């Protein structure tokens, strides 16, 4: 019995030591994992050729398809379809107005027929008149009850465990981590802190206009039915410059919508990395690429990644596990 207890104790100690020595335990050994660890190791080495001063340690992460599941539909699109239907009784005119009519009748399938600009405008219109705080509360109430159609889990549980480890690894080594997403800025800010430990001031996304007003003598920011800017493709480097004021040294994405952010990050010499998550695991998650309307990973993007020295992360081969709830 004593021998058994001793062996068990040694096994536990070994496991703890190994976990402490490996900052990315959910990653398989390979080029992607070693590139990330080598990059950080070199970045924090004082006097080293690839040392990066702490104030320049900026890492940006796309969200949909990079940090959490984006199939079979973007989470915010599902939220928007539900909101249009829920609010339709208060707006009878929507039943004959497009694109509301299509969304009321067809839900998410109706939203799929709209352009990115139409969806952004629709999102701005349906929540017009809400204060920012009311909108955040609405998002969180929806997230508390919504479930993914395949995994039957809350959307905030469908976070990629390997990417959470990367975020924490960067943060522990003095990097400022930002979400830079085509999704709604306030939508992501509603849950980013509790989900990713990335706080609202470090979330950049597609934004609607707000107005400063008074309600019952108190100042509020009220949402307007207008889009301020769309944070996708060329918009991502522009928004990074506007909100951060520094070029990132590390950028993570998964689609053509992130191409310019990765180009911007690697566009000057120095210790910099660009990585793309490739969805190639239909068993544990999804497999999609150039023909997907969501998270399009074009052949041209793959070629640019290979030609430019970006790292393509294979979800199937590089990740031991995808979600924290996996057994």
Please check the confidence at residue 187 and state whether its pLDDT lies above 70. Answer: yes
Please check the confidence at residue 4 and state whether its pLDDT lies above 60. Answer: no
CATH number of the domain within which 203 lies: 3.40.50.1000
For residue 46, tell me if it sits in a domain.
yes
pLDDT given for residue 2 in this prediction: 58
For residue 288, tell me if it sits in a domain.
yes
pLDDT given for residue 1 in this prediction: 54
pLDDT given for residue 268 in this prediction: 95
Residue 236, CB-side half-sphere exposure with 13 Å CA sphere: 27
Provide the token pair at 190. Answer: 């509603």
Which pLDDT band holds residue 207 (cuts at 50, 70, 90)?
Answer: very high
For residue 12, tell me if it sits in a domain.
no
Residues 220 and 182 sit within 8 Å (Cβ to Cβ): no
For residue 8, tell me if it sits in a domain.
no
Please check the confidence at residue 76 and state whether its pLDDT lies above 70. Answer: yes
pLDDT given for residue 15 in this prediction: 42
Question: Which has the minimum average pLDDT: 17-31, 134-148, 171-185, 285-299?
Answer: 17-31
Which pLDDT band holds residue 112 (cuts at 50, 70, 90)?
Answer: confident
Please check the confidence at residue 113 and state whether its pLDDT lies above 60. Answer: yes
Please check the confidence at residue 6 and state whether its pLDDT lies above 90. Answer: no
Residues 45 and 231 sit within 8 Å (Cβ to Cβ): no
Closest by alpha carbon to 63, among 201, 206, 172?
206
Phi/psi at 272 (nearest 5 deg)?
Answer: -140, 145
Please check the confidence at residue 3 and state whether its pLDDT lies above 70. Answer: no
pLDDT, greater one: 2 or 200 = 200
For residue 227, tell me if it sits in a domain.
yes
Please check the confidence at residue 70 and state whether its pLDDT lies above 70. Answer: yes
Question: Which has the minimum average pLDDT: 12-16, 35-39, 64-68, 275-279?
Answer: 12-16
Model confidence pLDDT, tens digit, residues 119-151: 888 888 899 999 999 999 999 999 999 999 999
For residue 20, tell me if it sits in a domain.
no
* Structural domain for 196, as ranges: 25-318
Nearest-angstrom CA–CA distance, 261 and 275: 11
Number of structural domains in the chain: 1
For residue 7, tell me if it sits in a domain.
no
Nearest-angstrom CA–CA distance, 266 and 208: 30
Provide the token pair at 177. Answer: 């981590």
For residue 17, tell me if it sits in a domain.
no
Residues 290 and 299 sit within 8 Å (Cβ to Cβ): yes
Whole-structure pTM value: 0.91
Model confidence pLDDT, tens digit, residues 210-230: 999 999 999 999 999 999 999
């Amino acid at each position: 019995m004593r021998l058994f207890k001793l062996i068990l104790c040694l096994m536990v100690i070994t496991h703890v030591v190994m976990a402490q020595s490996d900052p990315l335990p959910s990653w398989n050994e390979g080029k992607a994992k070693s590139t990330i660890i080598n990059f950080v190791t070199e970045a924090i080495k004082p006097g080293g050729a690839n040392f990066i001063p702490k104030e320049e340690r900026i890492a940006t992460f796309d969200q949909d398809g990079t940090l959490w599941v984006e199939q079979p539909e973007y989470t915010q699109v599902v939220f928007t379809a539900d909101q249009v239907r829920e609010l339709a009784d208060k707006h009878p005119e929507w039943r004959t107005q497009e694109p509301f009519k299509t969304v009321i009748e067809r839900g998410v399938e109706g939203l799929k027929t709209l352009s990115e600009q139409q969806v952004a405008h629709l999102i701005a219109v349906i929540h017009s008149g809400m204060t920012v705080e009311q909108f955040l509360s609405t998002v969180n109430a929806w997230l508390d009850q919504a479930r993914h159609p395949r995994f039957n889990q809350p959307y905030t549980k469908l976070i990629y465990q390997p990417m959470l480890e990367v975020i924490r690894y960067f943060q522990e080594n003095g990097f400022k981590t930002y979400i830079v997403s085509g999704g709604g800025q306030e939508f992501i800010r509603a849950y980013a802190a509790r989900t990713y430990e990335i706080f609202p001031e470090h979330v950049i996304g597609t934004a609607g206009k707000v107005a400063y007003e008074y309600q019952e003598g108190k100042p509020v920011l009220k949402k307007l039915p207008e889009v301020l800017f769309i944070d996708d493709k060329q918009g991502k480097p522009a928004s990074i410059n506007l909100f951060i004021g520094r070029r990132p040294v590390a950028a993570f994405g998964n689609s053509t919508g992130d191409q310019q952010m990765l180009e911007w990050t690697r566009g000057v010499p120095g210790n910099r990395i660009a990585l793309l998550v490739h969805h190639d695991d239909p068993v544990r998650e999804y497999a999609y690429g150039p023909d997907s309307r969501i998270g399009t990973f074009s052949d041209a993007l793959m070629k640019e990644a290979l030609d430019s020295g970006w790292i393509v992360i294979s979800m199937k081969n590089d990740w031991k596990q995808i979600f924290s709830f996996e057994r």
